[in-house]
Structure 1
Amino acid sequence: MHTPTSISLTVGAIKAMSPCVTDAARTLGCRDSAAASHLKLVSLVVIFISSIVGISSPIFLARYFQGKPVYDKAILVIKCFAAGVILSTSLVHVLPEAFAALSDCHVASRHPWKDFPFAGLVTLLGALLALFVDLTASSHVEHGQSKPTGDYLPVVTQEGTTGKKVENDLPNEELVKLKQKLVSQVLEIGIIFHSVVIGATMGMSQNQCTIRPLVAALAFHQVFEGMGLGGCIAQAEFKTGTVAYMCFMFSATTPMGIVLGMVVFAVTGYGDSSPNALIMEGLLGSMSSGILIYMAMVDLIALDFFHNKLMSSQMWLKKASFIALVLGSTSMSILALWA
């Protein structure tokens, strides 16, 4: 005979399990390996082209304005738009997906995942890792700046010509450029983590109902994310070969992730809803989110709005930059409706 307590516990257990059961029933009719593989092959080309368009647009725009009086102002506005895109990417896209992956019913029922908010912890570790890299690189640059070069210049005195040792410090502009290059490189690392996770998740999925809208959404996603990274690359003024390499790596990472996901599914049979895949997705997503949050808030927004002489001297430029920041955040946030 069932007691009221046992009945309530049974009902509670059924309710707790119902999301997994419902999801399985919903996706069963959409699973078609052949159709899913065809969509993935199409997505490789679409996402690669959209990524190239996104990341190269601000770079070509910066080259167009280079040498003109508005060059510095245009670069600043582009960079603020990029900061908004990157901040929205981390907070609206990456972080919620990481929390969702680690709180999935297949994962949250396991130890230790149900005992501790690992997504928040790994996000914190990602931000601290970005800070550590930033501090280490900045200290290295400043240490290199303070070293004397050991050069001798001829100095004419009353006794005749003699040699005098002088210290040639790097100009402040060069230090700024080194900092901008560091920011761009760390940003690309964080975005690559995110892109691999997105691509691998899509590659492991056999659900054509999920993949079909995701292809279009990811195309727009890569355009805006590419514009964010491209704006930072444009300001750093890398050499042409380095710019081409960084653009290619960004554009190829998501397609490579898709191929990786397809290979993983073919070899192991893990789908995008397997516990191990969800745990890996949650951890990598949290790490990249922490990196992107730090870089957007500290190295982009705070640096430009509070330590940029050009912006502090012209109020209209500060307003335009803030509007660009809001537009970048809004554009990327709206895409969360589809991707």
Structure 2
Amino acid sequence: MPAEAPDCAAAFSESHWGLRIGAIFIILATSLFGTVLPIVLRRSTVVPRPVFDFAKYFGSGVIIATAFIHLLAPAFDALGSECLSGTWTEYDFAPALAMVSVFAMFFAEVAAYRIGSRRLAKLGLVSAHADAGDAHAHSHSHSHSHSHSHAHSQAHAHELDSLPEDHVTDPELALALPSKEEASETSSLAPAEAAAQLVAVAVLEFGVILHSIIIGLTLAVSDEFVVLFIVIVFHQMFEGLGLGSRLAGLHLPSREWARYAAAVLYAVCTPVGVAVGLGVRRTYNDNGEAKLIVSGVLDAISAGILLYTGLVELLAHEILLNPRMMRSSDARLAYVFVCMALGAGLMALLGRWA
């Protein structure tokens, strides 16, 4: 018996038309809430430290799960679809594009750090010996693991220093905070580290924006609108929480408005995708070859960006290579792990429906 041909024809349901339009504003509000919340909490003097930590590390888990479940898996599906033909059927492009994206992120971060360090050296803001290589090594008499993470911990020092002292309630963590001498020692390299951190967050936002536009288009023309709509509301809010926690940790003393501008940019992307999808619903083919290629490629690239950011920037730099975090109490580390696992678990669960 011959195999049944794949259904690649365009289809659109006219059901729930009012809710489809309302989704534009509902998703805008929930996305903005999730993204702005960590930024506001960062400046709050009444919110306990564990609440801020929850938003930050829950968001880290969300980003990692988004990369694996909501980006890499759909990229495999789109670029492996039976509706494609030609070269796209001869190679697994999804993992290849994700790998290229990971290396591109790595090269961009290295370049940003090295260029920033050299410019600071020319301006006389750092020692001529404190180039990009020495900044990361910073050997002195420290151990190898501490020296590798010394420069990366500077950004976290800014984050902790911005909080009131009574927010740091963990005695072991308080003891692990750098002294004034240590802060003075590393402050000259902070601008270079801040530049590398800014590049990482900017590329992270680029990745989630691509993803947000695609899911907005998908939602607008989906036959299973109600279930997908509910899932995407939580998806965008949780993903916004992850992005917002990164924006909150940036060192932007003279450009505080940039955090909120980035939050608004992320929040409007999915509503824009929904609006565009509703506008072209009669001609848009969710199973069309062009759509599958574009969405598959963008999902794969975004997956690589979020994988690098989640595993390297969030897990490695903020925990494993952060000496203050590694010297904190077992209870604090356990709390961080639970927050991450909860964020990743909830986003993975949402992948059951979207």
Instruction: Report the TM-score range of the alignment, normalised by the length of the smaller protein.
Output: 0.7 to 0.9
Q: How much has 1:270 moved relative to structure 2? A: 2.8
Tell me which amino acid in the other structure corresponds to 2:113: S
How has the CA–CA distance of structure 1 residues 186 and 75 changed in structure 2, closer, same or farther, with 3 Å as cutoff? farther
Contact 2:39–2:244 (CA under 8 A) maintained in structure 1: yes
CA distance in 1, matches of 2:264, 2:302: 20
**1:36-185 equivalent positions in 2, closer than 5 A:** 37-65=17-45, 71=49, 78-107=55-84, 110-149=85-124, 171-185=188-202
Partner of 2:173 in structure 1? none
Task: Show CA shifts across 1:15-53 (max 9, x none).
Answer: 4x2xx25x87xx97xx433x3653331110111011011
CA distance in 2, matches of 1:74, 1:211: 34
Partner of 1:329 in structure 2? 344
Contact 1:80–1:301 (CA under 8 A) maintained in structure 2: no
Structure 2: stretches of 5+ with no match in the other structure: 127-184
CA distance in 2, matches of 1:100, 1:41: 28
How has the CA–CA distance of structure 1 residues 150 and 91 changed in structure 2, closer, same or farther, with 3 Å as cutoff? closer
Partner of 1:14 in structure 2? 3
How has the CA–CA distance of structure 1 residues 186 and 247 changed in structure 2, closer, same or farther, with 3 Å as cutoff? same
Partner of 1:247 in structure 2? 263
Q: How much has 1:237 moved relative to structure 2? A: 4.2
How has the CA–CA distance of structure 1 residues 173 and 142 changed in structure 2, closer, same or farther, with 3 Å as cutoff? closer
How has the CA–CA distance of structure 1 residues 65 and 290 changed in structure 2, closer, same or farther, with 3 Å as cutoff? farther
Q: How much has 1:126 moved relative to structure 2? A: 1.5
Contact 1:181–1:236 (CA under 8 A) maintained in structure 2: yes
Q: Percent identity?
A: 26
CA distance in 1, matches of 2:125, 2:301: 43
How has the CA–CA distance of structure 1 residues 78 and 171 changed in structure 2, closer, same or farther, with 3 Å as cutoff? farther
CA distance in 2, matches of 1:235, 1:150: 23
Q: How much has 1:309 moved relative to structure 2? A: 2.5
Tell me which amino acid in the other structure corresponds to 2:69: V
CA distance in 1, matches of 2:186, 2:124: 8
Structure 1: stretches of 5+ with no match in the other structure: 1-10, 152-167
Total equivalences in the alignment: 293
Q: How much has 1:145 moved relative to structure 2? A: 2.7
Partner of 2:129 in structure 1? none
Task: Show CA shifts across 1:84-108 (max 9, x none).
Answer: 110000101111111111222212x
Partner of 2:237 in structure 1? 223
How has the CA–CA distance of structure 1 residues 182 and 276 changed in structure 2, closer, same or farther, with 3 Å as cutoff? same
CA distance in 2, matches of 1:115, 1:188: 32
Partner of 1:32 in structure 2? 13
Indicate the SS of the match to 1:105.
Answer: coil
Q: How much has 1:183 moved relative to structure 2? A: 2.4
Q: How much has 1:245 moved relative to structure 2? A: 0.7
Contact 2:61–2:342 (CA under 8 A) maintained in structure 1: yes
TM-score, length basis structure 2:
0.75
Q: How much has 1:284 moved relative to structure 2? A: 0.7
TM-score, length basis structure 1:
0.78
Q: How much has 1:114 moved relative to structure 2? A: 1.2
Partner of 2:277 in structure 1? 261
Partner of 1:5 in structure 2? none
Tell me which amino acid in the other structure corresponds to 1:137: A
Tell me which amino acid in the other structure corresponds to 2:211: H
Contact 1:83–1:300 (CA under 8 A) maintained in structure 2: yes
How has the CA–CA distance of structure 1 residues 319 and 150 changed in structure 2, closer, same or farther, with 3 Å as cutoff? closer
Q: How much has 1:287 moved relative to structure 2? A: 0.7
- Are positions 1:234 and 2:248 aligned together? yes
Indicate the SS of the match to 1:144.
Answer: helix
Q: How much has 1:187 moved relative to structure 2? A: 0.9
Q: How much has 1:265 moved relative to structure 2? A: 4.2
Contact 1:145–1:170 (CA under 8 A) maintained in structure 2: no
Q: Which has the higher helix share?
A: 1
Q: How much has 1:283 moved relative to structure 2? A: 0.7
Indicate the SS of the match to 2:249.
Answer: helix
Which structure has the larger Rg over C-alpha atoms?
1
Tell me which amino acid in the other structure corresponds to 1:93: H
